Copies of this chain bind each other. A is one copy, B any other.
Amino acid sequence: MHTTYDWKDPLTPEGVERLHERSLEILRDLGIRVDHEDALALLEEHGCDVDRETKIVSFPPDLVERCVERAPERFTLHARNPDNDVAVGGDDYVMTPVYGPPNIRTYESGRRPSTIDDYERMMKLVQREDPITCTGYNACEPNDVDQEVKHVEMIRRSLTLTDHPVMGSTYGEERAATSLDMVAIAVDDADLSVPYAAGLVNSVPPRQWDTKMVGGLMEYARRGQPVLISPGVMAAASGPATLAGTLALVNAENLSGIVIGQLVNPGAPVVYGALGTQVDVRHGSLAIGSPERSMCTSAGAQMARNYGLPSRGGGSQTDAKALNEQSGSESAFTLQTTLDSGINFVVHAAGDMESHSTASPEKFVLDCERIRHAERTRDGFELTEETFALDLIESVESGDHFLSERHTLEHSKSEHYFTDLFDRQSYDDWQNDGAKDPREKAHERVQAHLEAYERPPMDAGLERDLERFADERTEEILGLA
C-alpha cells in the first residue's frame, strides 16, 4: 500500500533527465525575462536570442549545459576567524538563521515590527549557538533604520558581533558592492581572493529576473563570491499546482541564474536553490511547513547533485503563528527532511516562524536544539568489542540492571543526546519545577545566551577601517557627503 519516500533520490534517473529536458525547453522555447541591460548584452554575446522589447531571453541548451559544467561542486566559505570556515557541498553543509522576516515575536513583547536592536540580538545568538555556522543576511529586518542604508548597518553588525562567515545584500549593484567592500575590510583581503560572503538572489517567478537581483548576482559573481539562486516558485500561484511543473520552473530559473553568473565569471561558486512550495488555495497563503515543501527540497537537492552543484533549501520551517505543537511538528518534519535530502546551504535553519514573516529568538534556540537532535543521528554508532560489551552483558544477571556500571557512566555521556529545553523529568518533578512550557525554557536560554555573550576579538585597525568605511558610505548614500 505504501512505500517509503527516498529523500536522497526521489526521482528516477529518467525522471531527472525529463525534468532537465523540460527545463531546457522552458529556457529555449518560452524564455526568461531578464530586466537588466548588461545581462542582456552578455547573454546575447554568448549566443542567446534576446527580444529587446520584451527582454525575454531564449537560452540555447548547449550554453546552459556548458555553464553548469563550469560551476564548482563545492567550496569553502571563509570567516574572519579561520576556525569558523565552513565547507559547502558534498556531505558538508552550512546553516544560517531565518532570512528576511519583517516582524519579530519575543517572549516579552509578542509580535511587532523588528528593529536593529533585535537584529543585534539575533547576531549574538548566532555567535552563541554552535549549530548555526553563518550569520545569514537579514535575520530580521531593521525597520527603524533608514531603508537606504540598512544593509550597511546589518553587515557592520554581523561582521563585528560574530566571527562567522556572513551573507550580504544582493539588492542591486551598489548594495552588493558595499556589502562585499565591507567584508573585504573585515577579513583583510581586499581582493576577496576566496569566498567569504554569500548572496541570496531571488528570481521573480514565473520566468523572470528583476533589475536589482541581476545586478546583485553579477556583482557577487564578478568578485568570486557565491550566489544562492533562489527561485521561490509557489505551486498554484507563481507556478502550476503540480509539483512537476513547479520543479520544472524552479530548475529552469536556477539554470538561467547559473548561466548569468558563469558568463560573468566562469567557475564562480553558485548554489542551486532547491525551492518550491505551495500556496494553500483555501487561504491564499504560503504553506512552508508542508510535505510538498519537503518533497521539492529533496528533488531540488537531487537535481543539484546531478549537476555537480551544492544546493540550498529547507530549514526549520513552520506556518505556525505561535510556538506550539504545530511549530514543533512542522519544524521537525522540514528539518529532518532537509538533512536527509543532503542540502548544503540550509537557509532558515533557526528562528523562522509564521511562513517566513516573523523571526523569534525563542524559536531560534528551540531550532538549535532540534538541529542537535537531528545531527546526533549523523554520527551514527560504532559496532566494536567495546560497544557491543558482551563481557558486561555477561556480568549483569538476567533481569538485573546496568545503571551503576562504569561502562554505562563512560558511554552514556558520549553516546546519548541530552536535551534541557525539552523535558525528560518525571511528571512530578516537571510539576514541581513549574510545569514549564518549552517557550519559557527557551526564553531562559535566550536570556542566558545574551548575558554570556562575548564580542569576538577583532584587530583594532581593521575594526576602525570597517567603521569608517561604513560611516562614509552611509553619508554618501544618504547624500550628506
Q: Which A residues form the contact surface with B (CB < 8 A)? A: 1-5, 7-8, 10-11, 15, 18-19, 22, 25-26, 29-30, 32-33, 56, 87, 91-93, 111, 204-208, 235-245, 248-249, 278-285, 287, 289-292, 294-295, 319-333, 336-337, 339-342, 354, 357, 366, 370, 373-378, 380-384, 386-390, 392-394, 396-403, 405, 407-412, 415-418, 421-427, 429-431, 435, 437-439, 442
Contacts and interface: CB of A to CB of B under 8 A. Distances in A.
A235 to B, nearest CB: 7
A287 B340 CA distance: 23
Contacts of A412: 235-236, 241, 278, 281
B388 A245 contact: yes
Contact of A331 (B242, B329, B439): B329
A212 to B, nearest CB: 14
A4 B339 contact: yes
B381 A295 contact: yes
Nearest to A334: B332
Contacts of A32: 398
A165 to B, nearest CB: 14
A415 B281 contact: no
B378 A416 contact: no
A393 B26 contact: yes
Contact of A240 (B19, B284, B389, B429): B389
14 contacts: A1-B87, A4-B378, A56-B398, A206-B402, A235-B412, A236-B412, A239-B402, A248-B393, A278-B416, A279-B403, A291-B373, A291-B376, A325-B328, A326-B421
- In this complex, the member of A319, A386, A415, A425 whose beta carbon has the largest number of chain B beta carbons within 10 angstroms is A415
A383 B424 contact: no
Contacts of A333: 332, 336, 370, 373-374
A416 B4 contact: no
A202 to B, nearest CB: 12
* Residue from A325, A392, A405 having most chain B Cβ neighbours under 10 A: A325
A206 B321 contact: no
Contact of A5 (B340, B387, B410, B416): B340
Contact of A330 (B242, B375, B403, B422): B422
B325 A324 contact: yes
Given A243-B381, A283-B425, A377-B5, A237 B411 contact: no
Looking at A208, A236, A237, A320, the one whose CB has the most chain B CB atoms below 10 A away is A236
